[in-house]
């Protein structure tokens, strides 16, 4: 049973099309019950690809995925134009999870209330705002008490109270023995709580535990499609593209000198706009920068 709930990737590779470039290769990852796992990496590095493999919504081109935890997934883009009201959709899903109709409706209302979406429970999904439909996206994943919850930028578009509620729901899942894997552009999201951080860079997955200590934020600018030096990406706890060619790297303070050296000696060198010491992270923008 326990074995089944543990999701395991062994030598996993994924490319789109038989001759497409490898997006991921040689990925080994175990997601154990009760753990919180963060995936970081630059834009387009393959984070969403990895999450879809973990949620078993996609198959690897090579390697093996084993384990069958009951899984729920919040995609980066939720299909909101569904022919249901918010509560109708969630109730329907609840019955698919095995709940009776009354219990499903109750669970649907509970989750909508928790995310502050109670007032528009009866609104057709197609008429919901982006924030409203994101609340439904998150509620649909939490509804069935999943053993593995996979969140791809699930906080994006939520208002402050709903973001905090999602933080709480994640803590509840792991406390109940579920696993949660997430990607978020905000390096402060659940900072210090993750059991492991894995960074996707150059198609590979680098593992580390979250004991980075104080972090430094380095804001750099380069050409719109410039590639950050791999040693800088590897050292980073989080990397976010803030504008074409603009990146914010969150690096352990102990590695900041090495990262700056890599950025400044790259060819062409990266323009370092700002270096902010620990505790000076910018406020959470609440949406994709």
Ligand X SMILES: Nc1ncnc2c1ncn2[C@@H]1O[C@H](COP(=O)(O)OP(=O)(O)OP(=O)(O)O)[C@@H](O)[C@H]1O
Residue among 54 and 148 whose Cβ is closer to ligand X:
54
Taking CB under 6 A as the rule, does residue 48 contact ligand X?
Answer: yes
Kindly state the smallest distance separating residue 47's Cβ from ligand X, in Å.
Answer: 4
* Residues near 94 by beta carbon (within 8 Å), at least 6 away in sequence: 103, 104, 105, 107, 108, 143, 144
Q: How many residues does the chain have?
A: 289
**DSSP summary character for residue 266:** S
Q: Which of 25, 36, 49, 215 binds ligand X (CB under 6 A)?
A: 49
**DSSP summary character for residue 283:** P
Rounded Cα–Cα distance for residues 23 and 18 (Å): 12
Taking CB under 6 A as the rule, does residue 16 contact ligand X?
Answer: yes
For the CA atoms of 108, 111, 115, 119, the dihedral, rounded to the nearest 10 degrees, stands at 30
Residue among 2 and 77 whose Cβ is closer to ligand X:
77
Taking CB under 6 A as the rule, does residue 224 contact ligand X?
Answer: no
Name the phi and psi angles at 105, rounded to 5.
-65, -40
Taking CB under 6 A as the rule, does residue 44 contact ligand X?
Answer: yes
Kindly state the smallest distance separating residue 197's Cβ from ligand X, in Å.
Answer: 15
Contact 198, 206 (CB under 8 A): yes
Residue among 90 and 137 whose Cβ is closer to ligand X:
137
Residue among 242 and 256 whose Cβ is closer to ligand X:
242
Taking CB under 6 A as the rule, does residue 46 contact ligand X?
Answer: yes
Residue among 76 and 195 whose Cβ is closer to ligand X:
76
Q: Stretches 44-52, 78-86, 108-116, 134-142: which one binds ligand X (CB under 6 A)?
A: 44-52
DSSP notation for 75-107 = -SS-----SSBHHHHHHHHHHHTT--HHHHHHH
Kindly state the smallest distance separating residue 51's Cβ from ligand X, in Å.
Answer: 8
Residue among 47 and 248 whose Cβ is closer to ligand X:
47
Residue among 46 and 132 whose Cβ is closer to ligand X:
46
Taking CB under 6 A as the rule, does residue 40 contact ligand X?
Answer: no
Cis amide prior to 268 (ω within 30 degrees): yes
Q: Which of 12, 23, 162, 233 binds ligand X (CB under 6 A)?
A: 23
Taking CB under 6 A as the rule, does residue 91 contact ligand X?
Answer: no
Q: Stretches 42-50, 120-128, 202-210, 272-280: which one binds ligand X (CB under 6 A)?
A: 42-50
Q: Stretches 38-46, 143-151, 166-174, 257-265: which one binds ligand X (CB under 6 A)?
A: 38-46
Q: Tell me the site size for ligand X, rule CB under 6 A.
A: 11
In 32-159, which residue ranges form alpha helices assigned H by DSSP?
47-54, 86-96, 101-114, 130-142
In the chain, which residue ranges form alpha helices assigned H by DSSP?
2-5, 47-54, 86-96, 101-114, 130-142, 160-175, 230-235, 256-265
- Angle, to 10 degrees, between the axis of helix 160-175 and the axis of helix 130-142? 10
Residue among 54 and 108 whose Cβ is closer to ligand X:
54
Taking CB under 6 A as the rule, does residue 157 contact ligand X?
Answer: no
Residues that bind ligand X in the complex, under the rule CB under 6 A: 16, 23, 41, 43-49, 76
């Amino acid at each position: 049973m326990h074995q089944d709930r543990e999701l395991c990737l062994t030598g996993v590779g994924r490319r789109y099309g038989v001759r497409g470039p490898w997006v991921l290769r040689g990925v080994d990852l175990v997601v154990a019950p009760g753990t919180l796992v963060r995936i970081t990496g630059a834009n387009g590095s393959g984070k969403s690809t990895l999450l879809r493999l973990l949620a078993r919504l996609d198959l690897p081109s090579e390697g093996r995925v084993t384990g069958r935890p009951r899984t729920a997934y919040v995609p980066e883009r939720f299909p909101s134009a569904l022919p249901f009201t918010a509560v109708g959709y969630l109730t329907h899903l609840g019955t698919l999870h095995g709940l009776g109709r009354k219990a499903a409706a109750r669970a649907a209302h509970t989750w909508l209330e928790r995310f502050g979406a109670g007032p528009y429970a009866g609104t057709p999904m197609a008429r919901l705002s982006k924030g409203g439909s994101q609340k439904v996206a998150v509620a649909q994943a939490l509804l069935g008490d999943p053993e593995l919850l996979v969140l791809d930028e699930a906080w994006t578009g939520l208002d402050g109270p709903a973001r905090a509620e999602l933080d709480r729901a994640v803590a509840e899942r792991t406390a109940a023995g579920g696993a949660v894997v997430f990607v978020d552009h905000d390096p402060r999201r659940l900072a210090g709580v993750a059991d492991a951080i894995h960074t996707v860079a150059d198609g590979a997955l680098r593992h580390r535990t979250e004991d980075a200590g104080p972090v430094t934020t380095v804001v750099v600018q380069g050409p719109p499609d410039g590639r950050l030096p791999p040693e800088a990406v590897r050292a980073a706890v989080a990397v976010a593209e803030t504008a074409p060619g603009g990146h914010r790297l969150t690096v352990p303070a102990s590695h900041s000198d090495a990262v700056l050296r890599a950025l400044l000696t790259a060819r062409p060198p990266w323009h370092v706009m700002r270096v902010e010491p620990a505790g000076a992270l910018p406020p959470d923008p609440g949406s994709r920068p």
